[in-house]
Amino acid sequence: MDFLCVNCTSTAPSPTKHLSSRAHAVPSHRLNAPLQAPTSFKYRLRIRRGKRPLQFRVSNVASSAIEKRRSLGSGSESRLEPSNKPSAAMEQLDFERGVCVPFRKYTPENVRNKVLESRGAIVSLISRGVEIVWSLGLYWSALTYDCFVGRDEEVVPFRARQLRNLLCDLGPSFIKAGQVLANRPDIIREDYMNELCILQDDVPSFPNQVAFNIIEEELGRPLEAVFSKISSRTIAAASLGQVYRATLRDSGEEVAIKVQRPEIEPIIYRDLFLFRTLASFLNGISLQKLGCNAELIVDEFGEKLLEELDYTLEARNIEDFIVNFKGDPTVKIPRVYKQLCGPRVLVMEWIDGIRCTNPQAVKDAGIDVNGFLTVGVSAALRQLLEFGLFHGDPHPGNIFAMQDGRIAYVDFGNVAVLSQQNKQILIDAVVHAVNEDYVEMANDFTRLGFLAPGTDVSPIVPALESIWQNSVGKGLSDFNFRSVTGKFNQLVYNYPIRIPERFSLVIRSLLTQEGICFTLQPDFKFLEVAYPYVAKRLLTDPNPALRERLIQVLFKDGVFQWKRLENLIVLAKENVTKLSSNPAFQAKDIQGSRDLQVSRKLDLTDTIKDGARLFIFDEGIRRKLILALTEDSKLHIQELVDVYRLVEDQIDVPSVAVEVARDFPTVVRDLMLSWSESVLADR
């Protein structure tokens, strides 16, 4: 690759490290507050920052959270005004997600108004519709003919490639649709999914001069005024944009410039209108096969796609990731240059790392592969279960290994949001799997939106039991997500199960990262890292919901599971040890940080305090613990000793004593209130 100096025509050799292909999908800026549909009201918030209105859909419960959300920009002014009622499909999406959506660029009404705003647009729409119907009609006719002559199975590889090429020819909307279908086993069969995965990396680029003109229009300045040099070729190309490497003139910093494809917005709006029109004719089939309207699937897709067109939202995603991983020395998130960003251009820090598809380069750099993979899996699970904001496209070109053992993420377009409720249900599913409670696991699918409310889960329970027991029956060392996902794909193809967009991203994210792990270390065991992280969360997270789930894990049929507690502690210590041994912890700029020193140990202070509180105030828990200590007519002192030996090197006794002393007045007050309430109740 060559570099092109923007103020002359000379070129210079490029560094060896570079970015690879990127997928782009920018989500709305989020508020992670629960949404209750029956008590909801809606406003449109106009922010005098850009020309687009921001629309809030907020529950009464969540409305106070809006006041606490950080400002969208300095000096911004806002006013609230009523908005039109959204479609039933959008209402259902809001209810399923359980999150506030501060920004909504997509509604079916907006799309229709954009497309039908002029006679010329209507003529263009008709012409595009004819093109799509003709192209897809020919393809459908070929599939029908294959089925008629009985060769439908033998020509699958050819037809899958033909479909991929057809989507490329039909343009960016169809490329994005193909990328989505590559993660939807509820809609398309697995062999087609595998072929469509190629669309995530192999997309033609558009001319440099067009891209440079867009950059100048967005920045309002000539290229040479901002950059001293810029790569003469694209570093990566995707369905909606492409990436260049450049050097800032003022500071000499290396940056990545993401540029949107020209004149893409009218094409996207037109195609979305046609998609939804077609979906309205397929609602009956979709309800039968997936348990939901086809319009809802199009609305999910359209909402993400239109948000993706505004790179300022991706800049905000990056800022949120930086906040989430602040203080974590094992994760690198690139800095974003907000003053150089616009709806069609994004400028961020250049990440000079090693691609995860090159295991030899990783080893040659002296990076501990096993430690790096532990960091990567833990970072992914933190995004999913702790932050509820996760990177939806962690393919090998978007994840890098740093020389100091850190993991670096780039390309934050494809980001999804999980509500607090969704995160808790996912942890519930893990607990139900540990307890082998497959009926409740099936109910978790309903609560997450995979099944329509009221669906009879009894036929699904045996299938879930078979999938899970067969997958973990040989132990954690033989478990892998790809085999589980393959069996799950068959399940969703045979039952009326719909995979919500956000969870299709979760599945793809886990599969992709497991694939990276296998590339770097073929015998890597994903669950052997994932379980220790979950164990640590259950033992150390002060969230009351997680405390409740810890109790569910430790008590089975009312009997305290001593061995399970010991296993949780051992696994949690293993996670802490592996993470704290990462070389990034030795960096000079983080030495002496109290938070990082705490993270080198399994901090059980809050757990001990909460456990003591439960023992004092919860009569049911107190009875169960006493029974656990006196089970089989003997005192289980040895079990207590074994547990203490596991944690004695992790407990900072002075710190625990200080915390207990601080909490003592509150405990005494609550104890007296509890006693007085019981006395009054007896009378």
Report the first-to-last Cα separation within the chain, whole angstroms. 85
Cβ distance 40 to 101 under 8 Å?
A: no
Cα dihedral across residues 498, 501, 503, 508: positive or negative: positive
**Distance between CA atoms of residues 93 and 309, nearest Å:** 21
Q: Among the options 186, 393, 444, 541, which is catalytic?
A: 393
Cβ distance 643 to 629 under 8 Å?
A: no
HSE on the CB side for 49, CA within 13 Å? 15
294-308 vs 88-97: helix crossing angle, rounded to 10:
70
**Distance between CA atoms of residues 399 and 234, nearest Å:** 19
Q: Which two tokens stand for residue 420?
A: 């607090």
SS3 state at 402: coil
What's the gap between Cα 660 and its chain centre? 37
Cβ distance 186 to 492 under 8 Å?
A: yes
* Residue 37 identity: A
* Residue 303 identity: E
Sort residue 66 into left (φ over 0), alpha (ψ -120 to 50) or beta: alpha
**Distance between CA atoms of residues 324 and 110, nearest Å:** 33
Residue 560: name the closest of 469, 510, 629, 461 by CA. Answer: 629
Reported as type and span, the H/E element at residue 288 is helix 283-290
Q: Is residue 404 annotated as a catalytic residue, yes or no?
A: no
One DSSP character per residue, 136-186 reads HHHHHHHHHHHHHHT-TTTTHHHHHHHHHHHHHHH-HHHHHHHHHHTT-TT
Residues with a catalytic annotation lie at: 393
